[in-house]
Each structure stands twice: as C-alpha cells, then as structure tokens.
Amino acid sequence: MEVTVAVAQYPITQHSSLKAWALHVEAWIKEAVAKGAQLLVFPEYGSMELTSLLPDSQDLAEQTSAMTQWLDPFLTTFETLAKKYRVMLVAPSLPVAAEGRKVNRAYVFAPGGLAGYQDKFFMTRFEDEEWGISPGKKQLTLFEADWGSFGVQICYDVEFGIGAHYLAMAGAGLIVAPSCTEAIRGAARVHVGARARALENQAYVAVAQTVGMAEWSPAVDVNYGYAAVYAPPDVGMPEDGICAAGVPQHPCWVVATLQFGKLQEVRANGAVLNYRDHRHIAMSLLTETIGIQKVRVF
C-alpha cells in the first residue's frame, strides 16, 4: 500500500473576495493533483488569509473572532474541491468556536466529503496569551484510508511525543503536521519534533508550513518555514530519514510517495525496533514508576 502526499509551503495571500480566495485554493489543489498527489496537507493558520477580506483593522482579537463568519463557505469550498479532484485534503487550520471557547482546528476532507477534524492540544504562548486560543478536547482522530491510516498533530503538538505515540499505537503509519512559525528557530523546533516522532514510532511524518510575509495581518504577518516528509532512518528508508524537503520560503508543494509496507518491515526487522520498544516502555509505565536517584558529586 502506498500514497503520494503533497505538503504545502504556503504563502499567506491577500484576496479581494471569497470567490477569489476559492479560485486561489483550487489552483493550489490542481497543481498538487497534477503532481500525482492523493493526500494534500495545508499548513496551520493558512486560513487566516481570509482576514484580508475585513475592513482595515490591526486588532488581533477581532481578526481571529471574525473567522467564524467564513466557516461555512470555508468548509463548503474544501469539501467541493475534495470531491471534484477525488483527493484527501487536510485543510489549513483555523480558529473555531467550540463549547464557549476558541480552538485551533484542522478539518479533513475525503472524496466522499467531510471526514472529521483534529483540534490542537498544546497551545504556544502566542496562542494562549495573545490570540485567546484554548486547548481542544483531548480526542485524537485516526483517519483510515484504503492505502493506510494517518493522524494530525498541529504544529506545537508534534514537539511532544504523546499524541503521535497514541496515534501510532492505534494504527497510524503517517502523522501530518500542519504548522505556522515565524522564525528559523520555530521551524527548527517543529522539524526536530517531526523527525523525533518518525524515529520513535517508525512512522512517516509530513510537515506543511506557512512561508513569506503578510504585513497586513497582525496574526500571521511574518512566516518562516519549509515543508518536508520524514521517515525512520533505517533499512529500506532514506539513510538520513528525509524523504523530501523544500527550499525554505519558496511557495510550492513538496511531494513524496510513501510505502507503508516498508514501515511494517522496519517495525518488524529494522536495525533497531523503536516502535516495539517504545510501546513496551509506555505500557510498563502504567504499572510501575521510574525511580530517580540523586547522587551528590564532589
């Protein structure tokens, strides 16, 4: 089983109307489909380009709250395009009102329509202190396709092992990580996290990121990033664990074909057995604790 995945290096773009935005999104999807992509991943907060439709405003809270008015056309647009091009889409995440708070949500669409969503678990300081975004309900979604299963870990979430670990134990061979970072250090943290998740779970991890400047937006004005697809560095896989990576700050799709049979071979007969051993350690922690011994040295 295999799938060709396309991860976006996506620029935050100004639009004159909802129609212009929808045509822009379709052009991007059409380009990825032309490259053979079956699963397309847009970045975290790529949706914030819709705030360019607002009257001139530099109020951050107003811009994030205003996203609610575009939720229905946003969902309709991505659902229509997923059906039209017969692909799976991880849409750019956006602030969504849920149970009296705002969460950062990534919707997933299949050729049959809306498949589900994943909310972000861990908030960055910027989201917590300035955006007013709250952690989502601690519920992971495993998306099961004919070619394999995948889960979503949004940006900061992929810097922690727990979500990807649970998804891998549930059957995920691929973790997708939509991300939005403004500096090299932020992008580096996400990519280091993604490579760690690929290593410890012996799984594929695909990162999509925003790129470039959008000075008109107080929310996503500065973006630094690049897209990449990672694998466990092992037999039959890329020696350095990099399946594909883009040139930073250049708008494009990064495309890779992932073979899930190779993952099973690595998990069963790899040079190391991170996935098996990681599972065993996790299970042992349910019945015993790790002791800490302090030794004073002179």
* Residue carrying structure tokens 């052009």: 27
List, for residues 141-164, the tens digit of each pLDDT value.
Answer: 999 999 999 999 999 999 999 999
Query: pTM value?
Result: 0.95
Tell which residue, 67, 49, 42, has the closest CA to residue 220.
Answer: 49
Residue found under tokens 């973006």: 223
Half-sphere exposure of 189 (CA within 13 A, CB side): 16
- How many percent of the chain have pLDDT more than 70? 96
Side-chain-facing half-sphere of 51: CA atoms under 13 Å: 28
Give the pLDDT score at 286.
62
Mean pLDDT for the chain overall: 93
d(CA 155, CA 239): 25
Which DSSP state fits 140?
-
**pLDDT-derived band of residue 284, with 50, 70 and 90 as boundaries?**
low
Tens digits of residue pLDDT in 219-259: 899 999 999 999 999 999 999 999 999 999 999 999 999 99
What gap in Å lies between CA 13 and CA 181, rounded to an integer? Answer: 16
**Confidence (pLDDT) at 100:** 86
Model confidence at 56, in pLDDT bands (50, 70, 90)?
A: confident
Interatomic CA distance for residues 66 and 44, integer angstroms: 17
Strands 39-41 and 94-98: unpaired
Is-contact 157 196, C-beta < 8 A? no
- Report whether pLDDT(58) > 70: no
CA distance 37 to 19: 24
13-17, 46-50, 277-281: least confidently modelled range: 277-281
The stretch 285-295 carries a mean pLDDT of 72
> Is the distance from CB of 40 to CB of 290 less than 8 angstroms?
no
pLDDT tens digits, 88-138:
999 999 999 988 899 999 999 999 999 999 999 999 998 998 888 999 889
